[in-house]
A and B are shown apart, each in its own frame.
Chain A
Amino acid sequence: MTTTSVWTGRTGASKRSLRRSLTGWGFVAPATLIVLGLSVFPALWAFYLSRRNWDGISPSTPAAWSNYERLLDDPQLRSAVSHTLVFTAIFVPASIIIGMLLATALNRRLRLVAFYRTAIFVPFVASAAATGILANYVFSPQFGIANAALRVLGLPEQQFLESDSQALLTLCVISLWGEIGFTVVIYLAALQDIPESLVEAAIVDGASTWRVFWHIKLPQLAPVTVFATVWQTITALQLFDLVFTTTKGGPLGATQTVVYYVYYQAFQLTHYGYASAVAYILFGFTLLITVGVIAYSRRVKMEAF
């Protein structure tokens, strides 16, 4: 293959290219080995594990595809999947729309714009643990300011994270609070990349602000939107930290997500094989969505990757 051209050359040339290869690998090997050793290798191992039954202590036994068969009719997994999908279906569009809206607003020369930018981005810096603990306080039915605000507005108080019908939606709001800064920043960067001449020309031609946004800016934002959709979908499908620090999957399993279920199966029940199988299916699903979105965006000719 590519090696033939290297090895059939004159000895001097081949020595030189060997030296070049050694130098090149000297540069890239440390990082490459660490990354591959901690990703490709464990990923293959996880596949092996998914076809065994193992509790981490006693010798593992072969399970063939039984772990995968089992997850097809596991009611707990099914409800975890539906919670994850509901969360994703709300979180992703909301973060795209709100992010785009706020970025458009922040892209103006306004007084206080630096303050607004900082305010909206700051929650992104807070960890999921801190965010979760803070959310427990803010949404505490008795002591939280969320209910205090509702009382001031004359609205009925809510149970939020302690109600099985509201917990997932509350988690969505908390996630948006913490993650919207990311979408805003990438949209802001994309808006600033739109050539000003394009916008000015449209305005000179008499286009309204709204039409400028719809016909000029929005098409230019398409690649970022593809990127943001993929990124936020992956984030949403992998929701874990916030669940762990707020509801721990409750109340009554209402916020049990797929990744939380993987964690529960693996590290509380030590069902390593089954947990690996579930993780693999989630991985496949994520991959499918990612590839699907990218393929779709290629077909309608807006390249993001």
Chain B
Amino acid sequence: MALPTIDADVADVPTDGAGGGRVVTSQVRRKLRLPFSPWHLLLMPTALLFLLPLAQMILASFMVDADLNRYPPRFFPTDLTLNGYHQLFQQSSMGQWLLNSTIVSMVAVVSHLFLCSLAGYGFARLKFLGRTTGFFLLVSTIMIPIQLLMIPTFVMFAKVGLIDTLGAAIVPWLASAFGVFLMRQFFLSLPVELEDAARIDGCSTFGVFWRIVLPLARPALATLTVFTLLGSWNDLVWPLIAISNENNYTVQLGLANFQGARRTDWSLLMAGNVVATLPLLVAFLLAQRHFVATMSFSGLKS
């Protein structure tokens, strides 16, 4: 590759058809030619700035107290220890909180995938009375913010005995208007012929949905999984309001409240941060390709 001499103009043109692209090469640029694209000057510091706090979080979680309480502070530890993690699991119910959050997120994802794709398919393909009104009503609820809903929902959940249970954290994540919308948009983009063929072969409506359409919807289902996972795992405000029994805390709530009790126990707090962030981080890195690719069609091509 001709990377060492690449400049902004060349980089702008797709390399495969770069032929006649370099008509303009200004004097200034010829003088300032760097051994790499000038865009690196923007991107490299930015990338480091974004990673540095996370690096410090991970490093600090393994630090000994002597390194943490030094002034000026150290970035690289002189000694590594698992003490922060050890104390975290000993002094808090972190294990329980992780389990609780796992349950909440699992139920949220499974329920979201099933109910939202079911409804999305109904709104996209089936003709029935009140379809347009129903869909419009459903989508318009996306506008209603959580802070408007939290008081009545709290009172409502208290009436049915959900408050202070894990159920309180789960129920709001069973389905979402966004999920239905996302799935409907996807189903609308599928060709209808396949379904018609299956129906002629005697497949029931649900059979068509379950056996023909759903397997084709994998990219949309992956996107929905990522969004649901992100939202349910990271949710703080609702668990904060609905759950006060420490055994039923989610990871985020546990972490936030644990911080209140241990303001400057940095190795403990950073260990908690790592533990709370790691599952999603791994999931994200594994699904990254899906994530970025499908984010475009989800929100924008409506």
> Which residues of A pack against B, CB within 8 Å?
2-3, 6, 17, 20-32, 34-36, 38-43, 45-46, 49, 56, 101-102, 105-106, 108-113, 115-123, 125-130, 132-138, 140, 142-145, 148, 151, 177, 185-186, 188-190, 192-193, 196, 199-200, 203-204, 206-209, 212, 223-224, 227, 231, 234, 238, 240-241, 244-245, 259, 262-263, 266-267, 272, 275-276, 279-280, 282-283, 286-287, 290, 304-305
Contacts and interface: CB of A to CB of B under 8 A. Distances in A.
Interface string B31-55: 0000011011011101111111110
16 contacts: A20-B128, A28-B180, A34-B174, A56-B155, A101-B42, A110-B43, A134-B56, A137-B57, A137-B270, A151-B72, A185-B292, A200-B13, A203-B21, A245-B259, A263-B241, A276-B151
Given A3-B129, A35-B138, 18 more contacts: A21-B130, A28-B122, A30-B115, A39-B144, A43-B144, A112-B43, A121-B288, A122-B51, A126-B277, A130-B255, A133-B273, A143-B264, A186-B295, A204-B20, A209-B8, A212-B12, A241-B237, A244-B256
A34 B127 contact: no
Nearest to B263: A136
A130 B273 contact: yes
B169 to A, nearest CB: 13
A185 B14 CA distance: 20
A40 B51 contact: no
A24 B50 contact: no
Contacts of A204: 20-21, 23
Interface residues of B, number: 111
Nearest to B68: A143
B141 A39 contact: yes
Given A110-B40, A138-B56, A189-B295, A35 B123 contact: no
A121 B149 CA distance: 30
B230 interface: yes
A242 B68 CA distance: 24
Contact of A275 (B42, B131, B143, B151): B151
A188 B163 CA distance: 42
B123 A28 contact: yes
B66 interface: no
B3 interface: yes
A134 B272 CA distance: 10
Interface string B121-148: 1110011111100100110010111111
A145 B74 CA distance: 8
A140 B174 CA distance: 39
Instruction: Name B's interface SS.
Output: helix
B107 interface: no
Contacts of A241: 236-237
A32 B230 CA distance: 22
Contacts, number: 323
Given A120-B50, A148-B73, A185-B295, A43 B148 contact: yes
B233 interface: yes
B129 A127 contact: no
Contact of A206 (B24, B39, B40): B24
B54 A127 contact: no
Given A32-B138, A36-B141, A102-B46, A20 B127 contact: yes
A3 B133 CA distance: 13
A17 B128 CA distance: 7
A135 B259 CA distance: 12
Interface in B1-38: 3, 8-9, 11-15, 17, 20-21, 23-24, 26, 36-37
Nearest to B69: A143
Nearest to A193: B296
Which 5 residue pairs of A and B lie closest in terms of their CB atoms, listed nearest first?
A: A24-B128, A189-B296, A27-B122, A127-B234, A42-B152
A6 B277 contact: no
A31 B116 contact: yes
Contacts of A135: 53
Contacts of B47: 115-116, 119-120
Contacts of B174: 34
Contact of B145 (A109, A134, A185, A283): A283
B102 interface: no
Contacts of A240: 147, 237
B115 A40 contact: no
A23 B128 contact: yes
